[in-house]
Amino acid sequence: MGQTKQETNLGLFMHGLINRAIQSFVCATYGQSCWLRVTEVAELGFVEFEAMLVYDDDRTARVLDALCTRLNRPRAEILEDLGTYLVSHPNMEDLRRLLRFGGVTYVEFLHSLDDLSDRVRLAVSDLNLPELELRELTPTEYQLHCHPGLPGYSSVMVGVLRAMADDYGTLAILSHDGQKGTAEAISIVLVESAFTEGRHFDLGARKS
Amino acid sequence: MIETNDLAVLLETLCPMFVLVNEEGRITCIGPTLQKLRPDQPMAGKCFLDVFELLRPRSVTTIAGLMSLAGGKLHLKFHDAPRTALKGLIAPLPHGKGAVINLSFGISILDAVRDYALTSADFSGTDLAIELLYLVEAKSAAMEASRSLNLRLQGAMLAAEEQAFTDILTGLKNRRAMDVFLGHLVTGNSPFALMHLDLDFFKSVNDRYGHAAGDYVLQQAARIMVEETRGDDTVARIGGDEFVIIFKDLSDEAVLSAVAERLIDRLKTPMVFEGNRCRISASIGTALSTQFSRPDPAKVLHAADMALYEAKRKGRSCHCLFSALEGSGQERTAPATSSE
């Protein structure tokens, strides 16, 4: 997922959940055969990532490289689609629900992102996601700083934020806002907070 | 002093599941979330103990008793269904003017959220209810992922065990390894001798001194067999106290008999386990692949088996060669398995 070299060197291991998310995204979007080809080209030596194991982060990089080559698309674009998939695909309903616990409104959700990495660690103690920091510029303009640790994270987050805006029924404009110190910034502009009804979130809709 | 109405407004903000009761124990005011649990039955005006059943402390059945529980923890349930369990805390108002009772769901929160379609707005901002619900879902998802991994790993482990060639207790080869090895020898036309060895009195060691002693004896016996054979001979444990030794390229019965005698001598020597002298011995039957014009593993094994049976019949601690059995001559061999 890396833009720069030193970023890829930060983590030696990539959690299986992240690898599994990529696998699930590729299979659901481009089909099983595409995934099998990617694992071959990336010389994984297997075709299924296990969500609860950790892997050498080099494997993840090779999978993404193979995917970019095969789809002939830039990595950032693919990662944005991955972010959207994580929230909007029926496969990922569990994850969408967990994110919706962040708040009753999109703005509350944005503020909850400051705690996202802690919340994730509470659920899966060895999954370390980079810190996120929301800056409120005006009540309708925000900047999300993605701190380093997981190359490409900000691209995934753009996709996640866009899909979550849809989920809450908020019309928002999202864009990359360049580098702020060591962090990558995402700009979020809210155009209308009750644009559509959004998707339903029932607090008690547990799986039995 | 704060007026009751002002107090109610304050409580609505801080604890949306409060109940204000007057000195008679009648509900004067109730928090919005609590009222949401019984939308069609306004609780104000009713007697607190008519709406809620006090489970703990059990001894208390009157309002006067309830008032005396200041600061104590209450366990309650609705009288009518759904009989959601609630936890509560009572704080009497000054001058005997009644009390504030603050309720919460405790562990029943998971069902309550579903039964009453509660939302984040129904909990106060400092209530950890939403975090608890989040955690339950997140942990369940993580647990599900771990469980599916465990199932796959268990499958892989069983498959690996199935394919294993080693007897875990003794470190010797197992029956499966012996079958594969015998198959190779026969296909490669290599002559070999096969010894079938049975430990005598093993069961009584197990019975008298326990399984740990039995395991120890098996391990010592295995070590002795490895020591008394050559590096490229195969020693396998094929059953509880049954062993097979395969000697590749050896057909000299005198040598084999000498090996068998040494094995029996050493195995007869008592083994000391936790202060107990465990006495066992061994019976051995030996057959040669060269005794068959067309040897196959089952035939040679069966021949060694018959020799072992003879050794046992002669008393314990004996070695018997298949060639010494009556009627072991060529092509009348191994009648039980021979279909020729």
pLDDT at A150 over 90: yes
Residue A5 has pLDDT above 90, yes or no: no
**Computed from CA positions of residues B157, B159, B160, B166, in that sequence, does the dihedral angle turn out positive or negative?**
positive
Could you tell me if residue A205 is inside a domain? no
Strand B192-200 with B85-92, pairing: unpaired
Q: A110 and A148 in one domain?
A: yes
Do A22 and A69 lie in a common domain?
yes
Interface test with A, best of B36, B108, B109, B134 (most A CBs within 10 A): B134
Q: Which residues of B touch A205 (CB under 8 A)?
A: 114
- A198 lies in some domain: no
Q: Please check whether residue A158 lies inside any domain of the structure.
A: yes
Structural domain includes residue A199: no
A91 and A170 together in one domain? yes
Q: Which two tokens stand for residue B203?
A: 């069961």
CATH code of the domain covering residue A143: 3.90.1520.10
Find, in chain A, the residue whose alpha carbon is nearest to that of B113: A204
Nearest chain B Cα distance for residue A72, angstroms: 32
Q: State the nearest Cα–Cα gap between B124 and chain A, in angstroms.
A: 13
Residue of A nearest to B111 (CA): A204
- φ, ψ for residue B295 (rounded to 5)? -70, 140
Which amino acid makes up residue A123? A
pLDDT band at A63 (very low <50, low <70, confident <90, very high): very high
CB–CB contact B135 A17 (8 Å)? no
| Residues A89 and A56 both lie in one domain | no
Whether residues A108 and A133 fall in one domain: yes
Q: Looking at the structure, tell me whether residues A27 and A92 fall in a common domain.
A: no
Q: What is the pLDDT of residue B319?
A: 96
Among the partner residues A97, A101, A124, nearest to B142 by beta-carbon distance: A124
Name the DSSP letter for residue A130.
P
**What was the pLDDT predicted at B1?**
55
Over residues A17-30, the pLDDT tens digits come to 999 999 999 999 99
For B116, the closest chain A residue by CA position comes to: A204
Size of interface A-B (CB pairs under 8 A): 59
Does A69 score more than 70 pLDDT?
A: yes
pLDDT reported for residue A15: 92
The reply to whether A53 and A96 lie within a common domain is no
Kindly tell me if the per-residue pLDDT of A156 is higher than 80: yes
Q: Do A204 and B137 touch (CB under 8 A)?
A: no
Domain residues for the domain of A169 are 82-192
Note if the pTM is more than 0.80.
no
Residues A108 and A178 in one domain: yes
**Which residue, of A43, A75, A107, is where some domain finishes?**
A75
Residue A148 domain flag = yes
Task: Give me the number of domains chain A comprises.
Answer: 2
Which three-class secondary structure string do you get for chain B? CCCHHHHHHHHHHHCCCEEEECCCCEEEEECHHHHHCCCCCCCCCCEHHHHEEEEECCCCCCHHHHHCCCCCEEEEEECCCCCCEEEEEEEECHHHCCEEEEEECHHHHHHHHHHCCCCHHHCCCCCCHHHHHHHHHHHHHHHHHHHHHHHHHHHHHHHHHHHCCECCCCCCECHHHHHHHHHHHHHCCCCEEEEEEEEECHHHHHHHHCHHHHHHHHHHHHHHHHHCCCCCCEEEECCCCEEEEEEECCCCHHHHHHHHHHHHHHHHCCEEECCEEECCEEEEEEEEHHHCCCCCHHHHHHHHHHHHHHHHHCCCCCEEEHHHCCCCCCCCCCCCCCCC
A139 and A158, same domain (yes or no): yes
Indicate whether A35 belongs to any domain.
yes
Q: What is the pLDDT of residue B330?
A: 47
Of residues A50, A97, A124, nearest to B137 (C-beta): A97
- Whether residues A104 and A67 fall in one domain: no
pLDDT digits (tens, 9 = 90+) for B79-116: 999 999 999 999 999 888 899 999 999 888 988 998 99
State whether A188 and A86 are in the same domain.
Answer: yes
- pLDDT surpasses 60 at A4: no
Residues of chain B with pLDDT under 70: 1-2, 328-340
Measure CB to CB from residue A206 to each of B114, B146, B149 and give the nearest one. B114
Verify whether the Cβ–Cβ distance A206 to B136 is below 8 Å.
Answer: yes
pLDDT value of residue B329: 57
Do A58 and A143 belong together in one domain?
A: no
Mean pLDDT over A41-56 rounds to: 91
Catalytic residues of B: 241
Using beta carbons and an 8 Å cutoff, which residues of B are at the interface with A? 110, 113-115, 117-121, 130, 133-142, 145-146, 148-149, 152
Does A200 reside within a domain?
Answer: no
Least confident range from A66-70, A164-168, B115-119: namely B115-119
Contact B149 A51 (CB under 8 A): yes
Nearest residue of A to residue B138, measured between CA atoms: A123
Question: Which of A48, A75, A102 is the endpoint of a domain?
Answer: A75
Q: Is the ipTM of this complex over 0.85?
A: no
Q: Is residue A21 part of a domain?
A: yes
B-chain residues near A206 (CB < 8 A): 110, 114, 136-137, 140
Q: How far apart are CA A87 and CA A109, in angstroms?
A: 13
